Structure formats: structure tokens, C-alpha cells
Amino acid sequence: MTAATARFVEAHILQTIPYACLNRDDTNSVKTVQYGNTLRTRVSSQCWKRAARTVFEEHLGQAALRTRRIGEKTTRHLIQAHGWPQPLAERAGAHIAAASSIKFELAKDPEDPKQTVDNKVLTNAMVYVPDAAVADLAAIAVEHREELEKAKDITKPASNSCLPAGRVTAVLRSRNDVINLFGRMLAEIDDAGVDGAVQLAHPMTTHETDIELDYFSAVDDVTAAWGDATGSGHMGHAEFSTGTFYRYAALDLRDLTANIGDNPEAARTLTEAFLHSFIQSLPQAKKNSTAPHTIPDLVHLTVRSDRPLSYAAAFERPVPAAREGGFAAASRTALAGYAQAANTLLGTGHILAAGWAGMDTHNLTGLGDRHTSFDGLITATLDTALSPVPSGAAA
């Protein structure tokens, strides 16, 4: 890391979401939280992190694969890329999964759930590997094709693999920039865990919200054309809400450097890609029926040398609606006021850069320099966070 004093790059975002259901719980209800003794709409951090990771992967042209079906994925690659016959490819995929140190089970037969399917293996834990790892696993199978042709099918969880466990495990330990940034939890394989550099909070509304229950019906086109009956072909209901959300993420430059090594160019590339991705991302649940494709009202970026600092407490007292309606403007004012007070209390010497860009044309005292675009804001932030330390300067 070239700028020794920069530790955390933070993003504070206010975004107004129209009628939508970005994230649901196990009962198909909108996720909520009680905060400041009022009900807020919430989106889980895992949900928004996945949305940001998807945009990040597209931005970088890399992908990571999280699955219990790594054996089946390898099977398909052997058939499509190497022209293997399906029975042998299925055996190879099963032996790949069985060669790892992860316990596994056989998949159930879709037509008879009481029966299992030979050579269709599911690992008990999801592996998380670079997408290119599938080709690497297939290459091991190709190299050991003769052994696989003579090997027995995998017919029970205690079956042994004819493939080299060390090489398979090494592939499952591999990582790319996606994993270096977001981390990996894989306790079943020694030394496969990666501490993520990104910390992401659960977004929640800055104000009290109500959950709307939407009743809907679907027309049966044949019945409508024939006119021989009344009523709908289907009825149901779904939950939705609206609101202005506060979103927060912090990227630890020290952890990122530990994952990628002392590579200032790579650190800048990954940090820039993450900031763009976090700003632009939006969970895709029910997108076809709600299309809630807004952009942030405000993005505030900071570079700190001491510790992460969320401004969520700015909204512990729910923001009231303006006389003419709306929460966005009041949320921006509350955020700027809290930021100024909190940083005055902690001391501004730990803030190396602060800036903002957004819809508001007024000066938001407490948020630093105003920029006309998100791109300009990100560039200025990174110039400070990752600029080289002057020659002779103290680290």
C-alpha cells in the first residue's frame, strides 16, 4: 500500500427506492428492523453485497463460483469442452468432488426422492472458487482419464476417489480478485479461508415505513375470450414498501493489501471497481414487476486513517417528511449534520479526504468537497487514498 496513512475508504449512500420488494424473508415478507423504536424497511447486507459483487465481476471481467455442485459443473465442462462421453464425465465429476476434504452426499433422484443417483455428488458445504477453477479441475480429470476409466462409480458418501486429493484441494484453495476483495469462508479446507476487505452494513430506511399489501389477480385468457365463467384464473398477494435508504460500506486497504500483496496499481483498480459497483448496484428481486431502477440521491466518500465510521446513528431518530412530502432532502441534511458533528468530536485529522456528489445543488457542509459526477468523486478519493508517499516522508 503506497499511502501508508490511508486505511479505510468508505461509501455513505442515500438512495430513494420506489414501490418494490428488494429483499424478502422466509415468509415472503419485506425484511424490516426496529430502529429508534420505529419500523424501518431493511435489505440484508448479504443481498446487497451479492448485487454489488455481480456488477463488480462484470466490471472486472472475472467471476467467482459458489456451489455445492462443483462435480456436476466439471462433468458438463468435460462433455462440452473435451467431448467426453456422459457416463465417464459423470464419474469424473463425482471423483473430483469426492477427492476434496469436504464431506459429500449423493443427490436425490427427482422421480423417487427416497433413492440417490450414482455419481451425482453434492458437497456438504458450498465451495467458492474462481470460475476458471472448473477448467483446472477438468484438466486433472483429463490427465487421469485412464484411472477414471478403471475406477468404480461413486455410489455412497464413504466412496474414495482415484484422483489426487492434494491437487484437487489446491484448486479449491485458488482465488481471484473477486475473492480477494469479498473474502471466502470455507472452513472445510485448510488454508482456504480469505478475510474479505469489504465491510457492508444492512441498508435501512432513514424514516419509519409501512408495509403495503398488494392483492393481485390474473386473467385466464381462454375464459375471458369465451365469456363462459366469471372470476380470475389466479389470485394472490405480495408485500412491498418504499423509502429512502442509508447504505454504508467500508473497504479496508490493509486487508486488501494482505490479500493481493504490495501492488498499488491492482489496489487502485479493485478499489475503484468496488466503489463503482457499490454505487451502481441494486438487488434484482421482483425487478420485472416493479422496475425500481433509481440511482443514489447522494454519495459521500471518505478516506480515514483511524477506524471505520458509519453515520447510521444520524437516523436513529427517524427523519420526518417535509411539509410538501418526501424524505430525501431531510435525509441529506441529517447525514451532513451528523457527519460534521461526529468528525468534530473524533477530530478531523484522521480524515484524509471527503467529498460528495448527488442531486442536491446546495452546499452540504460537513461532507467535504462537492463533485459534479460520481466518476469525478471516485477519482479524487482514490488520488488521496492510494497516492504515493512523497520521498523522505514518514510512513
The model's pLDDT over 132-165, given as tens digits with 9 standing for 90+, comes to 999 999 999 999 999 999 999 999 998 899 999 9
Separation of alpha carbons 57 and 277, rounded Å: 9
pLDDT computed for residue 238 by the predictor: 84
71 shares a domain with 46: no
pLDDT tens sequence across 77-93: 999 999 999 999 999 99
User: Domain check: are 168 and 78 in the same one?
Assistant: yes
Are residue 201 and residue 264 in the same domain, yes or no?
yes
Q: Which residues lie below 8 Å from residue 381, measured CB to CB, with a gap of 6+?
A: 9, 275, 301, 302, 303, 353, 355
Q: Which amino acid is at 109?
A: D
Are residues 348 and 205 part of one domain?
Answer: yes
pLDDT in tens, 2-58: 444 899 999 999 999 999 999 999 888 899 999 999 999 999 999 999 999 999 999
> Mean pLDDT score of the chain, rounded to an integer?
92
48-62, 107-121, 327-341 — which is least confidently predicted?
107-121
Q: Are strands 112-123 and 198-200 parallel, antiparallel or unpaired?
A: unpaired
Higher pLDDT, 219 or 292: 292
Q: State residue 388's pLDDT score.
A: 62
Which pLDDT value is given to residue 149? Answer: 97
Please work out, in degrees rounded to the nearest 5, the angle formed at the alpha carbon of residue 170 by the alpha carbons of 168 and 174. 120
Whether residue 37 sits in one domain with residue 76: no
Instruction: Tell me whether residue 391 is in a domain.
Output: no
Q: Are 163 and 296 in the same domain?
A: no
Kindly give the residue spans of alpha helices, DSSP state H, lying in 347-385: 374-385
Residues 156 and 261 in one domain: no
- Judge whether residue 178 has pLDDT over 60: yes
Which cell numbers in the block locate residue 76? 458438463
Cβ atoms of 203 and 246 within 8 Å: the answer is yes
User: Does 335 lie in the same domain as 204?
Assistant: yes
Same domain, 258 and 342: yes
Q: Are residues 201 and 305 in the same domain?
A: yes
Q: Work out how many domains the chain is built from and give that number.
A: 2
Which residues lie across from 91 on neighbouring strands?
Answer: none
